[in-house]
A and B are shown apart, each in its own frame.
Chain A
Amino acid sequence: MNDMTQPELMHGHHGPAQGITRWLYTTNHKDIGTLYLWFSFAMFLIGGCMALVIRSELFQPGLQLVQPEFFNQMTTMHGLIMVFGAVMPAFVGLANWMIPLMVGAPDMALPRMNNLGFWILPFAFAMLLSTLLMEGGGPNFGWTFYAPLSTTYAPPSVTFFIFSVHMMGISSIMGAINVIATILNMRAPGMTMMKMPLFVWTWLITAFLLIAVMPVLAGVITMMLMDIHFGTSFFDAGGGGDPVLFQHLFWFFGHPEVYIMILPAFGIISHIVPTFSRKRLFGYASMVYATASIALLSFVVWAHHMFTVGLPLAGELFFMYSTMLIAVPTGVKVFNWVSTMFRGAISFETPMLFAIGFIVLFTIGGFSGLMLAISPADFQYHDTYFVVAHFHYVLVPGAVFSIIAGAYYWLPKWTGHMYNERLGQWHFWLSMIGVNLTFFPMHFIGLAGMPRRIPDYALQFADFNMIASIGGFMFGFSQLLFLYIVIKCIKGGEKAEAKPWEGAEGLEWQVASPAPYHTFAQPPRID
């Protein structure tokens, strides 16, 4: 380590380096966690701006602001940036910050790889965003990039898209390896697997999912690259390939990917609900088993994204049944959270508000998911706004709310200050109203027959689209309030104690607030 030369380290109590080099060369899990979180927030705003371009165009029927070519680039980029740039890095950031603190480790297992894993991302996304300025435009084939629209019919910039996705994949895999090594090898003595906090458990399972499916995604885009530039025909029927094969491979990655974005959220909620209910989490063991079974099931449900491609009847039935099964462990989780609250002593600080918002709205997303699983009905729902409503309900008030809840929950630990509770409550209510105003009407326009990914629509969809657009702007701008609250909290505020929440439990609350640059140099003892 370079830092070895610095005299402070000799004492084992050195602080961070000064200036920009602190961030460039850092191998400290807290610094890297911070970098990830800021990066993902920046991406959240960029992806959000694209969403607002989409919602502005859809405010009224007719083409007003953008042309269809650009509209398609916006939907594609919005999806890619939110999935790979906002949600996933945010969870990696939280993992970096919290997992070593939660398991009593001094740092992540592989600090230098940790640094590399982060610093790949800004370059990957710079490359991806630069495609918007290229001749022929950026990727315009949807975040699911179905062949042959993304191969034979793609704009020239598709090659840059492929390389940037490769880079994101490498970064995620490095993050996952690091998380697994940390959790498996660096737990404090006495912390058995079944004593691990749930955020650690869910992240461990998520990391295994990442290792299982990110390489498959890398394989798929490598095949695309070869089809485009090296004359193979994996996905081109003319050369003996099959465009449907692309969808099978993509969703073999894509469905576990969905759970990669939601399992850590379950972990966060499983910390916050008990804390503010001042009662132990109900059914810890069943939470762990439910998470593991959701992860395992995620490998055998992928074709429910493809009910209309013409699967044989047996295939449709199999994927319908397996998908419906997922409702069982997911239900167990929701029941457990509700039972945790039941007969607790609940208070409603901002993290708890977001967690309750999560439980209610994620469950609504789960219900629409169950409806989508019914294959004959899916023939009506497939590729409509009903699907858009469904996955936004599980991703925005699901994944994103959990990240925000986690941020409020741990901000005192990170900054040493309490955030402004009043503003936090405002942020919650604005987000809650905004998110429902945006996405709830989408159920209706989807059922009424509006396909997704269209820049213009028939008149009967006009009213709900307008409401959704207004809600979208409301939700989007409320996030600037979040930015303000976070910055204000970093700059100052009421001093936070080591354990600012009365009902909180876990090792992370045993270190001072803000958490010192180095923690748990001596592993704590758990009994």
Chain B
Amino acid sequence: MELKPIAIVNGRLIEADGTTRPGGVLVRDRSIAAIGEIEAAGVETIDARGALLAPGIVDLGTFAIDLPAFTAGGITRAALMPDQSPPLDDAALVQRAAAAGKPDVWIHPIAAATRALAGEELAEIGLMKAAGACAVATGRGWIADSGVMLRLLGYAASLDMPVIVHAEDGWLTTGAVATSGETATRLGLPSAPAMAEAMAIARDLMLAEETGARIHFHQVTTARGFDLIRAARQRGVRVTCGITPAHLLLSDTAIGQFRTFARLSPPLREERDRLTAIEAVRDGTVDILCSAHDPQGPEAKRLPFVDAEPGMAGAETLLTLSLTLVRDEVIGLPRLFELLSANPARLLGLPGGQLETGAEADLILIDPDAPWRIDADRMAAKAGNTPFDGLPVQGKVLMTIKGGRPLR
């Protein structure tokens, strides 16, 4: 059945140079039929009231299916990490996860690289691809066995699937809950040196280079990690990397007073690494901004720091916090939506991620200046574990539109 056309009018469109111009979008049969001056006569219309019209966010690597949080955050597609219960290591599980969000937010399952994510035996990656898996991931963990990792990368390359990697040398991080440094030492928390990340990246880049695999580091957070990625890219290695706003905006001092909401994986880093991460966004080393959305209730967070689960509920603050980078003139608006939408869609081979004629009508309406305050007790997410609780922020998603249909 053909859906009725919808015109979104009175919006502002982002130009390539970062300026905005008035305009709208005409949606026909879930796709963008026209952009710019829209002739809305006789068509159902949505009045954007001057809001910014941008592509829906493609969030690469969430740990939970959390539709209210995704909708609130302007996320129209979420690539789901395989760390589910049970892990996504089987085609049937992948198929079920892929159906979980439709029709509102589309969930794109990422296949577990190894059975039960144990890092030992390859999972049925080919069958999972056929069932709809868009990529392969090591999950929260690191594959310690270099032989397994070599075979995984080679196998995934032959299937042309990107491999999403958690980059922390697990031998160094065993038992650690923070980055080694003054904060962890003062608090008496077991810690691992920040170079645990670079050590993992160095090995996996070599293996990726050897096999020709596409490798994506889910979250890179240290100066040495970025240096390795820049150098590998120059050699022609097919490498991309992401980061969360938390690692760009917070340093490890945020865990002071044993704040478990700031216990993340990878852990927050020292200030100098945070500053180099911002430079890596500025100079183009970072390809993707993601939320690593991981809602955890009080039973997992209201614990002594070492016993608490890592992770933050980040989906609904992803855009708001990322807009800080635009206000601080680290990047412009066009680049922001490359990082949030176009790049992750391209990496995963998904349609959408851009405003162009013929593309999927996944859109968001944003007021980039609207002030509000992040409140852990009033989040749309399954849990309010955000290290930004109480922070006054600017920029709000007013409406999330999936396939031309408003979700809120």
A and B bind: no
Interface residues of A (CB under 8 A from B): none
Interface residues of B (CB under 8 A from A): none
